[in-house]
């Protein structure tokens, strides 16, 4: 019989038994939502056209034959994205009862929809579905060998590389697939694994919490200079860099916003509000400084006007005393200036004195008013900031821990 033709009567169904074990979890790519695994597949079916009595053939119970000599089921993995690069076994085993055994090692790159809501404390379940490419369930039916407990036990014994994951269990389920009116038998293996989160905690979560603690400590820096503002901006930029790193890890097609993204956005938002509060406090302090500078300029002008008024009062002295201070050739000029000063009203000195008294009373009434307001605002904001931050962290970490039970 030709090796490309299904053996036996075409009206009968060929039953194919499948057994799979995981030998290694090579890679899990969250951004591409793919799983790279190394698996061992055992497949057995019966060829009714081939059988013999071992007693008649020197006790030979099985033969190892080239795989091209016998028919093989057209097995495929639905989730497989790339052609298998592992070399296929060129041989199959044929025993005296007509059962053919085919064993292969496969490196499978398969799609796996990642649930990253709990990242990096997530548990992933990826499927490997075996079915025929062409045959319906009238031609080929698939059945499983072993149960879930046996599959998990043997996989734990044989698995080697697990990348950054901890293998939990391997389950199998037999289903029927209906595609455009054709039904096909299908075997679905589900690989359940848990991420090792220690590395992400040490390299991602803890640094962000350290940056947040630095932001809290920045309240001890004086608001008079610009050091506090530049320090807060630097810490905020550091958190932004961490968010960019996170964006390269998590897939953009997630059904729910991951809790770690909520954590980063919340920390970033709190630190941004803290930065805005620092800008407001520095503005209020600078407002006092500007008002002091304006008062100083006003006082300087008042002094000038007072000096001018005093000069006007000097004009009441005898002209002979003024003329004695100058040279002889400038006597006429000094006489003209004294005559012009005599024309200023006497009320000018009184107006300058009243203005000076008004400014002094205003300074006594509100010295450093905005600075005191800024300090009170800074203290109140610090306590509110600490309380809100503590509540946010408690809620986010409780959601993280309880997400498995939702």
Q: What are 107-126's pLDDT values in tens digits?
A: 999 999 888 888 888 899 99
**How far is the CA of 321 from the CAs of 314, 318, 339, in angstroms?**
10, 6, 14
The pLDDT, as a whole number, for residue 395 is: 93
Residue ranges and CATH numbers for the domains of the chain are: 14-196 (2.70.170.10), 198-315+353-406 (1.20.58.390)
Per residue, the 3-state secondary structure of the chain, as one string, reads CCCCCCCCCCCCCEEEEEEEEEEEEEEEECCCCEEEEEEEEEEEEECCCCCCCHHHHCCCCEEEEEHHHCCCCCEEECCECCCCCCCCCCEEEEECCCEEEEEEEEEEEEECCCCCCCCCCCEEEEEEEEEECCCCCCCEEEEECCCHHHHHHHHHHHCCCCCCEEEEEEEEEEEEEEECCEEEEEEEEEEEEEECCHHHHHHHHHHHHHHHHHHHHHHHCCCCCCHHHHHHHHHHHHHHHHHHHHHCCCCCCCCCCCHHHHHHHHHHHHHHHHHHHHHHHHHHHHHHHHHHHHHHHHHHHHHHHHHHHHHHHHCCCCHHHHHCCCCHHHHHHHHHHHHHHHCCCCHHHHHHHHHHHHHHHHHHHCCCHHHHHHHHHHHHHHHHHHHHHHHHHHHHHHHHHHHHHC
Query: How many whole angstroms separate alpha carbon 342 and alpha carbon 340?
Result: 5
The pLDDT, as a whole number, for residue 365 is: 43
The pLDDT, as a whole number, for residue 270 is: 94
Cβ pair 176, 52 in contact under 8 A: no
The pLDDT, as a whole number, for residue 102 is: 94
* Intervals of the chain under pLDDT 50: 1, 298-300, 302-330, 334, 337-338, 340-341, 343-344, 362-365
The pLDDT, as a whole number, for residue 358 is: 54
Q: What are 204-237's pLDDT values in tens digits?
A: 999 999 999 999 999 888 877 778 889 999 999 9
22: which strand partners? 39
């Amino acid at each position: 019989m030709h090796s490309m033709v299904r053996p036996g009567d075409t009206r009968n169904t060929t039953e194919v038994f499948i057994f799979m074990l995981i030998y290694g979890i090579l890679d899990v790519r969250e951004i591409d939502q793919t799983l790279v695994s190394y698996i061992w597949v055992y497949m057995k079916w019966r060829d009714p056209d081939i059988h013999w009595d071992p007693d008649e053939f020197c006790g030979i119970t099985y033969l190892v034959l080239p795989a091209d000599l016998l028919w093989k089921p057209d097995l495929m993995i639905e989730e497989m994205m790339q052609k298998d690069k592992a070399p296929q076994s060129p041989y199959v085993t044929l025993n005296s009862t007509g059962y053919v055994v085919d064993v292969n090692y496969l490196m499978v790159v398969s799609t796996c929809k990642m649930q990253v809501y709990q990242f990096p404390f997530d548990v992933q379940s990826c499927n490997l579905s075996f079915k025929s490419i062409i045959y319906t369930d009238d031609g080929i039916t698939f059945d499983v060998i072993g149960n879930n407990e046996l599959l998990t036990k043997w996989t734990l014994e044989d698995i080697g590389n697990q990348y950054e994951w901890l293998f939990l269990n391997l389950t199998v389920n037999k289903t029927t697939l209906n595609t455009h009116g054709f039904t096909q038998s299908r075997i679905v293996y589900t690989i359940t694994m848990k991420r090792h989160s220690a590395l992400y905690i040490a390299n991602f979560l803890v640094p962000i919490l350290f940056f947040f603690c630095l932001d809290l400590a920045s309240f001890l820096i004086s608001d008079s200079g610009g050091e506090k503002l530049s320090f807060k901006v630097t810490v905020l930029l550091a958190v932004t860099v961490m968010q960019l790193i996170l964006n390269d890890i998590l897939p953009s097609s997630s059904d729910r916003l991951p809790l770690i993204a909520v954590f980063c956005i919340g920390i970033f938002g709190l630190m941004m509000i803290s930065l805005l509060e620092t800008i407001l406090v520095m503005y209020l302090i600078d407002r006092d400084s500007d008002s002091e500078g304006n008062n100083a300029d006003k006082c300087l002008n008042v002094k000038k006007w007072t000096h001018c008024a005093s000069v006007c009062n000097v004009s009441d002295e005898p002209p002979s005393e003024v003329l004695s201070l100058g040279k002889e050739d400038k006597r006429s000029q000094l006489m003209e200036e004294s005559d012009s000063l005599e024309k200023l009203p006497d009320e000018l000195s009184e107006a300058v004195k009243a203005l000076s008294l008004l400014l002094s009373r205003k300074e006594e009434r509100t010295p450093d008013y905005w600075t005191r307001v800024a300090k009170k605002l800074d203290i109140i904001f610090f306590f509110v900031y600490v309380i809100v931050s503590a509540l946010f962290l408690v809620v986010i970490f409780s959601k993280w821990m309880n997400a498995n039970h939702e």
